[in-house]
Structure 1
Amino acid sequence: MKKLSVICLLGLSITLISWGFKGHRAIATIAQKHLSSNTAYVVSAYLKGEGMADVATWADENKNPKTAAWHYVNLPLGLTREAFVKAISESDNNVYTAILKTEAQLKDKNLSSEQKYEALKYLIHLVGDAHQPMHVSRKEDKGGNTIQVRFDNKGTNLHSLWDSKLIDHEGLSESDIAKNYDVATGTEIKQWQSDSPMEWLWESYQISSELYMNTKPGQQIDEAYYQKYITVIRKRVDQAGIRLAGELNKLFNSATPPTATTATAVPQVAATVTNIKLEDVKNAIGKTVTTQGKVFSSKDIGSMVLVNLGAAYPNQMLTVALKGKAKELGAQLENKMITVEGDVIDYKGKPEIIITDPAKIKF
């Protein structure tokens, strides 16, 4: 236990920012698209209307010395699966234990919504860290930071190469990365979400072990290297997003959002309600809006009634999810023009407003 703790602390002097800005935000965007409707609602409430991508790099930007070791784990090469599991399990301050800790905090009914807000921001980030191979690597080169290489005619190091340089070489925007990398099949999603965080780290360890063999100090990273490993990066980013969604769905699929009684005692400011056109709702994620539109289709799925405005599913401009008492309105809205007020969330790439108060809908 002491040995691994020392290994982790030795890395504190090196800044470890896995996947870079684009990668972390893409992971969060992929995850957001795979949340259940209720999970998306609860997550949005805990994040105070911020999108998951907006907080995805907070844990790096926060630079808290007390949680610096949460982002990675350093291990020697050549461990068997059994030795790997033993080494990580015996440590109490690494990315694995941090993921378990933040998930436990999100389950703890005694914690305030402000404490869970911070825990959720950490979890969104740390799941991404766990899938970056150079965050599960050796202490002697500080996770590849001291292994200098050249790529795109510039000097860099093995860690930075895998954090962002290979991704940046594709020339894709953040949104295009999320779109192009999010290609998991239903079978893959089921398998990946059934894997434990220990499995995620074992995968990263196996990849980093290969990278140490195939990347030498001073090496010129060529197109063949790039083509070989960009496919690995795409899969790791996709896996991180899918698995993050899986963890959040386990935590929040049946949960209720924080209320005034569970929130910290801070002055509450009334939300600003913006009246916008239906076609503009997609640009108002995280905002409280009022909008109008015609109901083209609806579906009762048991726990809620999904009402589609602007067009029938799957081409709707907005989905209104009626829950609780508001669910009773479902049968009355077909083909009617309605006005709805509520918080806009992103559900699988589409804007959605969840309504529990019938007074928030007028027709």
Structure 2
Amino acid sequence: MKQFKKLFFLIAILAYLPFNVSAWGITGHRIVGQIADFYLNAKARKAVKKVLGTESLAMASNWPDFIKSDTSYNYMGSWHYVNLPEGLDQQGVFSFLDSFKEANVYSKIPEMTAILKNKNASPEAQQQAMRVLIHLVGDLHQPMHTARKDDLGGNKIQVSWFGQRSNLHRVWDEALVDYQQLSYTEYANAINHPTKAQFQAWSHDSLKDAVFQSYLICNDIYKATPAEAKLSYNYNFKFVDVVNQQLLKGGIRLAEIINRIYG
């Protein structure tokens, strides 16, 4: 009985510990991949099929999270985000990215593109690089993956979501997307309507621009979400358009990166 009580207590504690889960959750990453697939040119589509076989961008998108249970991939842990200090302007963010040495989402996206461009890279290396690239571009567009180091990207900020205990990071990873109650294909079809100006801007933004845009949104999220906030309908109403735009941006930019890789 004592052992059972100890086990129950440990499980209860773990349930409330902050942890990094997949940016956007399974559905969100697949939405980004599904949208990107729509904008691939013929050459890139053929190359992706050679790399991934029958696996779509959407279905490949969650591989870097699925393999987290394998400790041999622990070296990828910091690749999913870049922690930025508060109070930076655009040049401050750019300078931080240039000087920051730890492996992060900003530094690893170019590394994955380099592997995919390398004709001497093995099929296995290219497949892994493609899966990681798809995922990291999605990660970059989840604003809490450009958040503060001291609160673990919002994981330490406890909130409630429709009365259920959660944390700020998890709300943005999964809760907001899942609340829309759409499959990833339905969701992608619902939001994939950029204006011509949006498409031109997003597809030509630099990687630094993408980081800075996520960082600005992250700052707004912090201001709107104090610790112990009770989040429900109003929070969804306030931020659902932001969520949708970030998912759409991620898909368009991912397609542009892949199209450029295969020229």
Calculate the TM-score normalised by the size of structure 1.
Answer: 0.65
**Paired residues for 1:279-358 under 5 Å:** none
Query: Which residue matches 2:189?
Result: 179
For residues 19 and 152 of structure 1, what CA distance do their matches in structure 2 show? 19
Match of residue 160 from structure 1:
170
Question: What letter is aligned with 1:37?
Answer: A
Residue 18 of structure 1 corresponds to 23
Q: Distance in 2 between matches of 1:16 and 1:90?
A: 27
State the partner residue of 1:73: 82
Shift >6 Å, 4+ stretches: none
Q: Distance in 2 between matches of 1:170 and 1:135?
A: 21
Asked if 2 retains the 8 angstrom alpha-carbon contact of 1:149 and 1:220, the reply is yes
Match of 1:188 among 184, 198, 205: 198
* Greater fraction of residues in strand: 1
Distance 1:187 1:82 in 2: 24
C-alpha contact 1:103 1:119 (8 A) present in aligned 2: yes
Query: Is 1:147 the equivalent of 2:147?
Result: no
State the secondary structure of the residue aligned to 1:79: coil
Q: Which residue of 2 aligns with 1:97?
A: 107
Of Structure 1 and Structure 2, the greater helix share is in 2
Deviation at 1:170, TM superposition (A): 1.2
Match of 1:29 among 34, 53, 58: 34
What is the rounded CA distance, in whole Å, between the counterparts of 1:48 and 1:225 in structure 2? 40
Shift of 1:228: 1.2
1:61 to 58, 66, 70: 66
Return the offset for 1:188.
Answer: 1.5
Quote how far apart the aligned CAs of 1:124 are: 0.5
Q: 1:203 aligns with which of 213, 221, 233?
A: 213
Pick from 219, 237, 248: which aligns with 1:238? 248
Q: Which residue of 1 aligns with 2:57?
A: 52
Query: 1:201 Cα deviation (Å)?
Result: 0.7
**Contact 1:25-1:54 within 8 A present in 2 as well:** yes
**Secondary structure class of the residue paired with 1:84:** helix
Q: Is the 8 A contact 1:16 1:71 kept in 2?
A: no
Q: Which one scores higher on RCO, CA 8 angstroms, separation ≥ 6?
A: 2
Deviations 1:25-53 (A, max 9, x none): 01100000110112111101100221111
Residue number in structure 2 paired with 1:292: none
Between the aligned partners of 1:194 and 1:20, the Cα distance in structure 2 is 26
TM-score, length-normalised on structure 2?
0.89
The 2-side partners of 1:114 and 1:124 are apart by 16
> Residue 357 of structure 1 aligns with which residue?
none
Match of 1:109 in 2: 119
Between 1:214-223 and 1:26-35, the stretch displaced more is 214-223
Give the residue type in structure 2 aligned to 1:44.
K
Q: 1: CA distance between counterparts of 2:82 and 2:43?
A: 33
> Secondary structure, in 3 states, of the residue corresponding to 2:95?
helix
Rg bigger for which structure? 1
Q: Which runs of 5+ in 2 are unaligned?
A: 1-17
Compute the displacement of 1:229 (Å).
Answer: 0.3
Equivalence for 1:213: 223
Residue identity opposite 1:61 in structure 2: F
Identify which range, 52-61 or 106-115, moves more after superposition.
106-115
In the alignment, which of 250, 255, 272 is matched to residue 260 of structure 2? Answer: 250
Identify the residue that residue 326 of structure 1 maps to in structure 2: none
> What is the Cα deviation at residue 88 of structure 1?
1.3
Q: Distance in 2 between matches of 1:162 and 1:251?
A: 30
Partner amino acid, structure 1, of 2:74: P
Partner-residue secondary structure (3-state), 2:160 = strand
* Alpha-carbon distance, 1:112 to partner: 1.6
Could you tell me which residue of structure 2 aligns to residue 120 of structure 1?
130
Q: Which residue identity is paired with 1:213? A: K
Aligned to 1:74, the other structure's residue is in SS state coil
Amino acid at match of 2:96: A
Report SS of the residue matched to 1:69.
helix
Instruction: Tell me which residue corresponds to 1:305.
Output: none
Alignment root-mean-square deviation, CA: 1.2
Residue-by-residue CA offset, 1:134-176 (whole Å, 9 max, x unaligned) = 0000011100001111112211110010011011111112211
